[in-house]
Structure 1
Amino acid sequence: MSLLTHLLSCLFGLGSWVSINGLWVELPLIVPQIPEGWFLPSYLSVLIQMANVGPLFVTLMHRFKPGVLNEAAVVYVIIALGTVASFLLGFLWKETLVVAGAPRSVALLVLTFFLATVDCTSSVTFLPFMMRLQPQYLTSYFIGEGVSGLLPAMVALIQGVGVVRCVNATQSTNQTSNATSELQAQYQPANFSAEEFFFFLSAMMLVCLAAFILLNYHPSVARENPNSRYTNGVKQKAQRGRKWAEQKPMMEPYGQKKPKSSFGSGSYSWLQVSYIFVVLGWANALTNVVLPSVQSYSCLPYGNNAYHLSASLAAVANPLACFIAMFLPIRSLVLMGVLTVCGSAVGAFIMSMAVLSPCPLLVHDSAGAVIIVLSWVLFVLTLSYVKVMIGLILRDEGHSALVCCGAVVQLGSLLGAATMFPLVSVFGFFSSGDPCNTRCP
């Protein structure tokens, strides 16, 4: 194993979702300065799902025109597009145009759509690219993918985004009664501007581009992978087929064993393949959309510190799960099911606290804050490990399996968004808590 290749794989994975993750954590700073206000998160959710046209196109090309799509060129294009779009956001995010008689942040929305297209398409292009490297480097890629959420969150914390100070505010019920005092949430000014943050995101995409170039052309990577030219998986698949045909008589001297299915290497039956993809879609729906959409509702009633701790430690839990998988690369379908059930149970608890907001269980007790923070860490840790397990399994099944993996990741996120968007943004099913005042019996 090469430490350089591990590092490059991690930096390559960093570019997968860093742009959109960065945009989400910057919302508290952006929202007060644009005409859309807090309707912007709803618009972003719709734009991100519309951006699934990118992975849909790539998946259909693999299905009906295998070998025609030059995936290396696609990776170069989407990384370059993400770099340029992030850079332009630094100049244009506050600019507005009058549309239908009202000012709209057209530049922000259009550039966000491009960023979402880049990140969504990375699911069906970055993962298949990792097929040309040794299997152990896929875990490093997943670590980088986890860091793509952690790094923007850490920078936003340094920036001071969303930091609240509770100050006394006087409130009078009538002219004759005494004034009553309550705490009022006051957001602190940022340490540096949103423009500088977007330039940072653009720099991270450049780092991803440099890592991709080195993974393609660096001599040490080429020496470790003699057939390292990126060929859409066609050449590698043919070579694996010839090698398997040569070794098979020696491995099975007493007769040939029929493959369980025509999927990948045939190691799994169609029932097992369906099970793997259902778990993959479910885990990504929960971790990418369903639970993050209610994180503030589940945490803010316990205080602003609980909210920030849950967001920060959950972001750490993702790459931590990938790091654990590097040393414990288990592929057990039974363990996958057990971890999925456990993670889903913890997610159900978090969802129930969000439903009970602004008065969840133990809201007046410090133990409540500890429990909700640990719940978020455990939820992300278990399901992130499940996603890495599935990635390792599908990597063994070949290039097409990893393309399907990326497509199912996006499909799960799409179904999760279609479920949560009306509940959160249309019907107002959840009630937000006040980080400074708890009004519960």
Structure 2
Amino acid sequence: MSLLTHLLACLFGMGSWVSINGLWVELPLVVPQIPEAWFLPSYLSVLIQMANVGPLFVTLMHRFRPGALNEAAVIYAIVGLGTAASFLLAFFWRETAVVAGAPRSVALLVLTFFLATVDCTSSVTFLPFMMRLKPQYLTTYYIGEGLSGLLPALVALVQGAGVVHCVNSTGSLNHTRNSSESSATFDLRAEYQPANFSVEVFFFFLSAMMLVCLVAFLLLNYHPSVARQRPSGRSANGVKQKCARERKRAEQKPMMDPYRPASRRPRSSFGTGSYSWTQVFYIFVVLAWTNALTNVVLPSVQSYSCLPYGNSAYHLSATMAAVANPLACFIAMFFPIRSLVLMGALTLLGSAAGAYIMSMAALSPCPLLVHQTSGAAVIVLAWVLFVLALSYVKVIIGLILRDEGHGALVWCGAVVQLGSLLGAVTMFPVVSVYSFFSSGDPCNTRWCSLSLPGLDVFSALAILELHATITAPMT
């Protein structure tokens, strides 16, 4: 294996969702300076769903005009577009124009649509491109995809975006009838801390990350040491190479289907025919389910599930969940077990952790163990287990579909986007329209019955978690 190729595959994967993930974490600093205010996340959710026209076009071209679309050219185009759009955001994100008699952030919305198109289309182009490299590099790509969510979050944390500090508000005097004593009760209110560097600098960082992705893609195509890592690389003895590939596949098949004789005829016309249509349907249903949960459904209620336990629990769960994604990919690099039974068991485990998280969000602002340290520990552990289990499932499905060929990876990306779309369509009205969930107060956890009115900082944090995506995200 080539360490350089691993590094390039990781950097290439980081460009998949870094722009949109970065924009979401930067919203606390963006919305106070634009006319849309905290309604911007709702607009962004719609724009991101409209951007699915990109992967829809690629999938339809693959289905009805196979081979007509130059995959490398599409990747060059979308990564270049993402780099330019991120760079222009640094200059024009605050520019407004009068539309329908009111000022609107037209430049910000248009450039965000371009970024969303880039990231959504990466799901159906980046993965199939990885077919050109050996299977172990696909896992490295998934690590990079997970870092595309973690790295912008860490930079935003250093910047101070979205970090809430609890400050004393004006106290009120309470007089008792039987005593001349008076006692002052002080409440804490939350305020965003000032940024350590500007929004413009953050957008330049996103542009630099997209440029790094573009350079990594160039080297993956043209660097001599990468060329030697391709499965179709030339060898002095092509017959031996073919036998080695067949022997490796025979070693892997028992993990997927231990009782299938080697001489059995193909079960279906999908890919290599290793799986029946029932198994293929099962794989894609699990893929759509895991992406709906990890990309949209649970992130949309993260603040509701964590804020009642305090500000520290909220930030710790968000950080640890972001770390769990690339960690699961790293584990899959050494234990790539292609077992449908294990995949189902981990999906149930992750879904159970997700059910607990959803239950605590529904009980907000008075979830279980709200006044106890164990409550915060359990909710953080639930988030780590949820992301760790389902991220591993997504990597294993990617490896299975990679074995089934280029077309299978195209459909993999399409189903990822479909699952995220269905999750967004389900959760957006529940969270943002009907306000089914109630926000907790991270600065006054003792008042579990507190419900903050209107679209304040905590409701804004909740809306912020509604990632109508992808990570992509991976992040």
What TM bracket, shorter-length normalisation?
over 0.9
* Cα drift, residue 437 of structure 1: 1.1
Letter in 2 for 1:39: F
Q: Secondary structure at the match of 1:25?
A: helix
Are 2:209 and 1:204 equivalent residues in the alignment? yes
The residue that corresponds to 2:395 in the other structure is: 388
Q: Secondary structure at the match of 1:224?
A: coil
The residue that corresponds to 2:11 in the other structure is: 11
Letter in 2 for 1:364: H
Letter in 2 for 1:198: F
- 1:217-256 aligned at under 5 Å gives the runs 217-225=222-230, 227=232
Are 2:346 and 1:332 equivalent residues in the alignment? no
The residue that corresponds to 1:70 in the other structure is: 70
Letter in 2 for 1:278: V
Are 2:354 and 1:320 equivalent residues in the alignment? no
* Cα drift, residue 225 of structure 1: 2.4
| Cα-to-partner distance string for 1:343-367 (whole Å, 9 max, x where unaligned) | 0010010011111111111111111
* Cα drift, residue 171 of structure 1: 4.8
* Cα drift, residue 173 of structure 1: 8.3
| Cα-to-partner distance string for 1:127-186 (whole Å, 9 max, x where unaligned) | 000001000000000000000001001101111112222111115489999764211112
Letter in 2 for 1:142: Y
Among 295, 301, 307, which residue is 1:300 paired with? 307
Letter in 2 for 1:54: G
* Cα drift, residue 228 of structure 1: 6.6
| Cα-to-partner distance string for 1:43-70 (whole Å, 9 max, x where unaligned) | 1111111110000000000000000001
The residue that corresponds to 1:348 in the other structure is: 355
The residue that corresponds to 1:269 in the other structure is: 276
* Cα drift, residue 224 of structure 1: 2.9
Change (3 A) 1:284 1:223: same
- 1:19-418 aligned at under 5 Å gives the runs 19-172=19-172, 180-225=185-230, 227=232, 257-418=264-425
CA RMSD of aligned residues (A): 2.4
* Paired residues, number: 426
Q: What is the alpha-carbon distance in structure 2 between the residues aligned to residue 296 and residue 38 of structure 1?
A: 15
Letter in 2 for 1:440: C
Q: What is the alpha-carbon distance in structure 1 between the residues aligned to residue 379 and residue 400 of structure 2?
A: 32
Q: What is the alpha-carbon distance in structure 2 between the residues aligned to residue 154 and residue 111 of structure 1?
A: 23
Q: Secondary structure at the match of 2:103?
A: strand
Letter in 2 for 1:356: L
| Cα-to-partner distance string for 1:231-262 (whole Å, 9 max, x where unaligned) | xxxxxxxx99xx69x989xx9xx995310000
Change (3 A) 1:194 1:228: farther
TM-score by length of 1: 0.92
Identity level (%) = 80
Q: What is the alpha-carbon distance in structure 2 between the residues aligned to residue 151 and residue 311 of structure 1?
A: 13
Letter in 1 for 2:79: I
Q: What is the alpha-carbon distance in structure 1 between the residues aligned to residue 266 and residue 230 of structure 2?
A: 28
* Cα drift, residue 122 of structure 1: 0.2
Does structure 2 conserve the Cα–Cα contact (< 8 Å) formed by 1:358 and 1:431? Answer: yes
* Cα drift, residue 440 of structure 1: 2.3
Q: What is the alpha-carbon distance in structure 1 between the residues aligned to residue 218 and residue 402 of structure 2?
A: 22
Letter in 2 for 1:425: S
Does structure 2 conserve the Cα–Cα contact (< 8 Å) formed by 1:170 and 1:179? Answer: no
TM-score by length of 2: 0.86
Q: Secondary structure at the match of 1:26?
A: helix
Does structure 1 conserve the Cα–Cα contact (< 8 Å) formed by 2:131 and 2:406? Answer: yes
The residue that corresponds to 2:448 in the other structure is: 440
Does structure 2 conserve the Cα–Cα contact (< 8 Å) formed by 1:11 and 1:211? Answer: yes
Q: What is the alpha-carbon distance in structure 2 between the residues aligned to residue 346 and residue 255 of structure 1?
A: 38
Q: What is the alpha-carbon distance in structure 1 between the residues aligned to residue 6 and residue 272 of structure 2?
A: 26
| Cα-to-partner distance string for 1:112-136 (whole Å, 9 max, x where unaligned) | 1110000000000000000010000
Q: What is the alpha-carbon distance in structure 2 between the residues aligned to residue 352 and residue 224 of structure 1?
A: 47
* Cα drift, residue 375 of structure 1: 0.8
Higher relative contact order, chain-length normalized (CA < 8 Å, sep 6+): 2
Q: What is the alpha-carbon distance in structure 1 between the residues aligned to residue 58 and residue 314 of structure 2?
A: 38
The residue that corresponds to 1:232 in the other structure is: none
The residue that corresponds to 1:233 in the other structure is: none
Q: What is the alpha-carbon distance in structure 2 between the residues aligned to residue 34 and residue 178 of structure 1?
A: 42
Letter in 1 for 2:331: I
Uncovered stretches (5+) of structure 1, i.e. residues with no partner: 230-238
Does structure 1 conserve the Cα–Cα contact (< 8 Å) formed by 2:15 and 2:209? Answer: yes
Letter in 2 for 1:200: F
Does structure 2 conserve the Cα–Cα contact (< 8 Å) formed by 1:133 and 1:228? Answer: no
Uncovered stretches (5+) of structure 2, i.e. residues with no partner: 177-181, 251-260, 450-475
Q: Secondary structure at the match of 2:371?
A: coil
* Cα drift, residue 223 of structure 1: 2.5
* Cα drift, residue 95 of structure 1: 1.2
Moved more, 417-426 or 156-165: 156-165
Does structure 1 conserve the Cα–Cα contact (< 8 Å) formed by 2:28 and 2:162? Answer: yes
Letter in 2 for 1:423: V
Q: Secondary structure at the match of 2:440?
A: coil
Letter in 1 for 2:92: L
Letter in 2 for 1:74: V
